[in-house]
Amino acid sequence: MTWHPLWLSLEVAVIATAISLALGLWFAWLLVNREFTGREVLDALTTLPLALPPTVLGYYLLVVLGRNSWIGRAWESATGAPLVFTVKAAVIAAALHALPLVVKSSRAALESVDRACERAARSLGATELRVFWKVSLPMARRPVAAAAALAFARCLGDFGATLMIAGDIPGRTQTAAIAIYDAVESGDATTAKWLVIAISVITAAIVFLANRLERRRTSAA
Amino acid sequence: MIRAQINKRYTGFELNVDFEVAAGVTVLYGPSGAGKTLTLDAIAGFTTPDSGRIMLDDRILFDAGARVNLPVRERSAGYVFQSYALFPHMTLRENLVFAANKLPRLERHRRIAETLERFRLTPFAARKPNELSGGQKQRASLARALIADPRMLLLDEPAQGLDVTLRAELFTVVEQIRRQLEIPVLLVTHDLEECFALASQVLIYEAGTIVHRGPPLDLLRNPGSARVALLMGGFNVYEAEVVALDPGQQTSRLLLLGSEINGPHLRGVFKGDRVALCARPEELCLVTGPGPNRIRAHVRRITERPQSVQVDFGDALIVDVPRSAWAAREGSSNEGGWWIEIPPASLRQISRANLQESTK
């Protein structure tokens, strides 16, 4: 058997978590701190990937990023290779899959930060960016870290959207979740078993870590 | 100098104030929910008024008409929060570094060392806020607010929930700031003692407006209206009928609490009019027998206080007796009620606004 799908999954999950965390924190900050037109729309859009079936999400991604879409064409003319059915596409699918979780948790985390501390920082001459980096985010670091851990687990386990947009190319875009499905389909019980065990152990460790992060926050408060 | 005209409407509440304060301590006094903190927040920039104009010296911080609304960070306001709002993830020194960020490096270090020393915080510089005592936190939040040389200092109920020692310490520090820095200090409180300890000027708030303003002692001498007397507390407020007026002698005769007594010179009233008067409990005295300006009443409640004994006769008749005088009358019989003397000079004419409420 090959461990390639597991390594690929971990690689995809690390990058996708970083992307969804960056985007998610930004969206969460906007939703908490800014009144703007389209706020409700942003709120709904960032929740949608959670509610939609992953295959539907994958279909939309194909439409938006596929070789006939303008993004897909722009990418292809810039890099010389299509975006879909690559590891990059798998990263996009996973990041999008994890985004609602990051936005929701980060929003709750940022809302729980003592308003007075942020106001104090502003009155001391800090810009919004500095308030966020030096005060809000450090004060919300535990719940945000917990959200990142869960987002990582979610990235690790994405199946539907990844299959739709990155495909199932063994050795190239076949992530662990897809490889398990393939292995079961083709009767390769050993591969399926070991991948399942590996994914389970990693996910369990992450959930444990996330819970600890959450718990220590509540006891400190 | 701060000049503020602030109007802000919410459902069921409207803040509408207009005031000007110079360097020195101005206390915003009044009951909770009167709009004191909202005023502070509008000046600091945390809330945007619906209309009005806020000036700090010659700078416009906010002007609804000219669409000027400076962000909080550009308003040079030192704000001290009721909860102190020290950054919990930073040490005390880091809190100060954050605040002194804009100063050049060397200057910053010197200033931080100086500030730590001045607020007696040097030994605790490496501690996180949760390892500091209440008094240290309080000094730290003041130090942080002042380190970057703000051009005004805003304090939101700084003494709320502090014990006596810490309050005294706070008063000392604020007094020091007043003497050393020529900046306006706005202090929100609903504690009368704080007013008198710190204020050079008091703005009395009620339901979103300023109902009275002046130096604290002036307000104590003449609260102006029954409403203010009621808000400040510590006043006996009466309604009396004018029985006779003698402008030549500068006196009057009044029917007050069922007795006819001599009153002060009254302005703008005629015989038979009803007037509102107030007197402070410490200006009335307990006496042993009948006489001019003395009325008889039955004690409802006696409250022991540190400096005096307060005797409540009901009907808004409260007398503060100094401890020495109280000791002197120990043992005298009070059969058939006590005699209270109301000196004519203690009675001050006030406007009748809100009298019904105040005499309840």
pLDDT tens-place string over residues B37-48: 999 999 999 999
**CA distance linking residue A87 with residue A128, whole number of Å:** 35
Statement: the pTM of the whole predicted model exceeds 0.90: no
A116–B81: do the CB atoms touch at under 8 Å? yes
pLDDT tens-place string over residues A47-97: 999 899 999 999 999 999 988 888 989 999 999 888 889 999 999 999 999
Q: Name, in order, each residue with C-beta under 8 angstroms of B200's C-beta and a sequence gap of 6 or more.
A: B24, B25, B26, B178, B215
pLDDT tens-place string over residues B223-279: 878 778 877 777 888 888 888 888 788 888 888 888 888 888 888 888 888 888 888
- Which backbone phi and psi does B49 adopt, to 5 degrees? -65, 160
Give B356 or A17, the one with higher predicted confidence: A17
A124–B148: do the CB atoms touch at under 8 Å? yes
In this model, does residue B170 exceed pLDDT 60? yes
Q: For position B331, what pLDDT does the model report?
A: 64
What single-letter DSSP state applies at residue A162?
A: H
- From the list B34, B73, B76, the residue with the least C-alpha distance to B55 is B76
pLDDT tens-place string over residues B1-10: 999 999 999 9
pLDDT band of A2, cuts 50, 70, 90: confident
pLDDT band of A11, cuts 50, 70, 90: very high
Chain A residue nearest residue B85, CA to CA: A117
B102–A122: do the CB atoms touch at under 8 Å? no
pLDDT tens-place string over residues B292-308: 888 888 888 888 888 88
Q: For position B260, what pLDDT does the model report?
A: 85
pLDDT band of B360, cuts 50, 70, 90: very low
Q: For position B358, what pLDDT does the model report?
A: 42
pLDDT tens-place string over residues A164-218: 998 888 888 899 999 999 999 999 899 999 999 999 999 999 999 998 887 765 5
Q: For position B338, what pLDDT does the model report?
A: 83
Q: For position B314, what pLDDT does the model report?
A: 81
Nearest residue, CB atoms, B87 vs list A122, A127, A135: A135
What single-letter DSSP state applies at residue B311?
A: E
In this model, does residue A7 exceed pLDDT 60? yes
In this model, does residue A10 exceed pLDDT 60? yes
B98–A124: do the CB atoms touch at under 8 Å? yes
Q: For position A220, what pLDDT does the model report?
A: 47
Q: Are A84 and A67 in contact (CB under 8 A)?
A: yes
ipTM for the predicted complex: 0.82
Go through A180-194 and write b for each residue having 16 or more CB atoms within 10 A of its CB, e for each that does not. Answer: bbbbeeeeeeebbee
- From the list A23, A20, A166, the residue with the least C-alpha distance to A86 is A166
Using CB atoms within 10 A of its CB, is residue A47 exposed (0-12), middle (13-18) or buried (19+)? middle
pLDDT band of B356, cuts 50, 70, 90: low
Neighboring chain B residues of A33 at a CB cutoff of 8 Å: none
Nearest residue, CB atoms, B79 vs list A123, A126, A139: A123
In this model, does residue B19 exceed pLDDT 70? yes
**Average pLDDT in the A23-35 region?**
93
Whether chain B has a CB inside 8 Å of the CB on A116: the answer is yes
Give B63 or B284, the one with higher predicted confidence: B63
pLDDT tens-place string over residues A119-153: 999 999 999 999 999 999 999 999 999 999 999 99
Return the minimum-mean-pLDDT range out of A140-149, B21-30, B153-162, B180-189: B153-162
Q: Are B3 and B54 in contact (CB under 8 A)?
A: yes
Residues present in chain A in total? 221
Residues of B near A (Cβ–Cβ under 8 Å) read: 44-46, 71-79, 81-83, 85-89, 98-99, 101-102, 144-145, 148
What tokens does A131 get? 């308030």
